[in-house]
Structure 1
Amino acid sequence: MTEATFRSRRRQKFLTERFYELNKSWLSTLILENESEERNNVSPSDPAFAGIAGSTFKEKLNLLKLHYTAGSPIEALLPLYTDAVNALGNWHEAYLTYIKALAAESGDELREDSTPLEFEDLYAFQIAIDMVSLGVLFGDGAALRRIAVWLHPYRSDDILFEELVSRAVPDPQRDITEYFHVVPYDALIDSFYSPESPAASAAEIEKYLAGWYKAFEGAPWHDGHVHAAEHQIPYYGYWSFESAAISVLHNIDDRSFRDQLVYPKDLADWARANKSVERLAPDAGIDSITAAAGMRCDANSPCPRAGYWMTPAKRGSRRYFKLGEIMPEVASDYGATIWQWDSDQSDPKL
């Protein structure tokens, strides 16, 4: 791919092709090293185990953001989101194991309702909001329900979090008015909490987006694009996924703010076109899009089910694999090759 082609595809101007490739390699290496440590070198009761699991989750979320920023098709992000959700679950379990070991050592009472994503901390809260916002936009109700269980200590404590999971969970909390962080989320909450008019809702989101980046000054990722190193740059994309999720959930017209730098308009458009909100409910069933995200297989792994598979890494990649056949690697701009089950299992027409 030429630099000109990459620039035409990317969704934010700060990412160059060189740093896209470096960051992709850097994140993939960190993830592999972390997962190797988890499997081979660290006991689950060791405090370091939870730290490694947390790092793995954050790097997988960063990898998803990086691919979106670079212009990857939305469908290519679905398995990356599934990976991030699973990694969040692993972190949650590792953290509870650590808390249990700590309680046994100290004699203190065990808190089984703990979570490593403490909403009081703005950066931790933003990560939680990123994950549920992406779940809304991808139409992944099952993921939202899993996340709501892991973060149940904070259920009923924050109106924004509850609003984002409300269409997916069996116990939506409708009477919540409290929230943890007035800055920056106040305007976004005003967009859906007793809005005066549709135009007023859009104006509140526009206001929210205008102050979004500055409000996160001091966050670990802030100004990452100006701190390039030889091997990577700590920038994966600056995105307000929650503004798109609220816009889609409440059918707010985004024409007045869709070109703001941090608004992920392509994700919002995809969510509307694919009726993501309709697929969130517990009784919605598993549709072809969600099934494709769930039935996936990494390259160099045995095929888990005989049938037709495809990979977003290559156009025209659809082919038949036998059960147990090793899924091949495909050279591409997307990094690791991930094969997805094709919802259409009919034989190709001759």
Structure 2
Amino acid sequence: MPSFKFDTVRRQKFLPEEFFLRNLLLLQGLIEISYNSIETLKIEGNFSPTGQYQIFKHRLNLVKLHYTAGSDIGSLIALYRDVVDAVRELTAAHREYVKYLEMKTGDEMIKNASFFRLEDPEMYRMALDVACLGFLLGDGDGLRQFVRCLEAERGTDLLFESIVASAVDDPRDNTDFFHVRPYDSLLDSFCSAETDKEAADYMNAFLKRWYKDFDGMPWHNAHLKPASDNSYLPYFGYWAFEASAISIIYDIDDTPFRDHLLYPKDLADWARANHSLDHVAPGATSLANNYRCEAGHPCPTSGFWSTPAKNGSRQYFKQGTVMPAVASEYGATIWQWDRDQSDPSLS
């Protein structure tokens, strides 16, 4: 992607093209290292899900990085499913670790323990990111899989339950919440506001304090801290995904605050245009079905597709075309909506 084009499509100004490419390689490498570390730790007698947690974090950062860089929204769905898969692997490993601790100590543990403790501010923020991305991308199946991994935390937080309510069979009605900062204004936008203007004012207040209230987090000001050798930038994007999710769920007009740097307006617009609220409902068709296709099945959406089974596989398919198989060690060929939907012949 030429630099002049990258500068026009990126969604936050803090990400230069060179660091997008370096960060992309970094995250992919860290995921591979983390997978390798899992078996190594077990051999050493360490059964904690450290490697699985790192894989989850890196996959979530990949979604943010691609969104920040200006990738086509549809291409994020396959990356989001990778996040959900990572959560499921993390949850399984965490529960096995809990069983191990129970046997070792003799103490009774929570059987369906969730790795994500919502009372922890950073765990909570990441859980909100995953829930909001699933909702905004219209991936009800993926969102429900994520929520099942947090069963032990269900019904404990008003904001989390408000975001997932439309996607689950068992919405929980509660008025408690864990974190005042920075979320109180966001909660007020749908719990206290009596007019559209009040709702927008609360949302503006939330966005204005969001970044400041996270001062002290490891990722705060990361855009100013490149590695000493400039090999990467520990910044993948600053996004208040919960603001756009709540705006759609409660039909809040985002016109007064949509241009705020932290508000993911492109994602909000895509979610509205594609009726994500309808697609996340139980029994509805997930939008993920339109942006992921196995070989041998008809292409669901006209556009550029690629498969991780083959480098340089990007090509254009018309809707209805049978997707071809590619010989590789991956097994079944899975085609994914490509992040770049521009026509190279027009560049």
1:44, 1:236 → 2: CA distance? Answer: 33
CA offset at residue 327 of structure 1?
9.4
With over 3 angstroms needed to count, the CA separation of the structure-2 counterparts of 1:257 and 1:151, relative to structure 1, is same
SS at match of 2:182: helix
Alignment-derived partner of residue 24 in structure 2: 24
Alignment-derived partner of residue 161 in structure 1: 160
Q: How does 1:225-304 map to 2 (within 5 A)?
A: 225-229=223-227, 230-284=230-284, 286-287=285-286, 289-293=287-291, 295-296=292-293
SS at match of 1:183: coil
CA offset at residue 326 of structure 1?
3.9
Per-residue deviation, residues 177-220 of structure 1 (Å, max 9, x unmatched): 11000000000001111421122111111110011000111112
Per-residue deviation, residues 293-325 of structure 1 (Å, max 9, x unmatched): 5x45xxxxxxx5413455268462566455574
Corresponding letter in the other structure for 2:100? A
Per-residue deviation, residues 246-304 of structure 1 (Å, max 9, x unmatched): 001111110110010000000000000000001111122x25x32135x45xxxxxxx5
**Alignment RMSD:** 2.4
CA offset at residue 78 of structure 1?
0.6
2:43, 2:124 → 1: CA distance? Answer: 25
Q: Which deviates further from its counterpart, 109-118 or 214-223?
A: 109-118
1:275, 1:79 → 2: CA distance? Answer: 18
CA offset at residue 66 of structure 1?
0.2
Q: How many residues align?
A: 322
Question: Which of residues 287, 306, 310 in structure 1 aligns to 2:296?
Answer: 306
1:228, 1:32 → 2: CA distance? Answer: 22
CA offset at residue 339 of structure 1?
1.9
Alignment-derived partner of residue 74 in structure 2: 75
CA offset at residue 4 of structure 1?
1.9
Question: Which of residues 191, 211, 214 in structure 2 aligns to 1:213?
Answer: 211
With over 3 angstroms needed to count, the CA separation of the structure-2 counterparts of 1:338 and 1:66, relative to structure 1, is farther
Alignment-derived partner of residue 300 in structure 1: none
Alignment-derived partner of residue 341 in structure 2: none
SS at match of 1:237: coil
Corresponding letter in the other structure for 2:110? R
2:121, 2:22 → 1: CA distance? Answer: 28
Question: Which of residues 177, 187, 190 in structure 1 aligns to 2:188?
Answer: 190
Contact 1:119 1:154 in 2 (8 A): yes
1:325, 1:31 → 2: CA distance? Answer: 24
CA offset at residue 23 of structure 1?
0.2
Q: How does 1:137-176 map to 2 (within 5 A)?
A: 137-174=136-173, 176=174
1:115, 1:51 → 2: CA distance? Answer: 14
CA offset at residue 98 of structure 1?
0.8
CA offset at residue 41 of structure 1?
3.4
Alignment-derived partner of residue 345 in structure 1: none
Structure 1 residue runs without a partner (length 5+): 297-303, 329-336, 343-350
Per-residue deviation, residues 124-170 of structure 1 (Å, max 9, x unmatched): 10000001011110111222222222112221111000000100111
Alignment-derived partner of residue 55 in structure 1: 54
Alignment-derived partner of residue 134 in structure 1: 133
Contact 1:23 1:232 in 2 (8 A): yes
2:273, 2:334 → 1: CA distance? Answer: 24
Corresponding letter in the other structure for 2:296? A
Q: Sequence identity, in percent?
A: 40
**Does 2:329 correspond to 1:339?**
no
SS at match of 1:316: strand
SS at match of 1:166: helix
Corresponding letter in the other structure for 1:192? F
Q: Which deviates further from its counterpart, 64-73 or 113-122?
A: 113-122
SS at match of 1:41: helix
SS at match of 2:336: strand
Alignment-derived partner of residue 15 in structure 2: 15
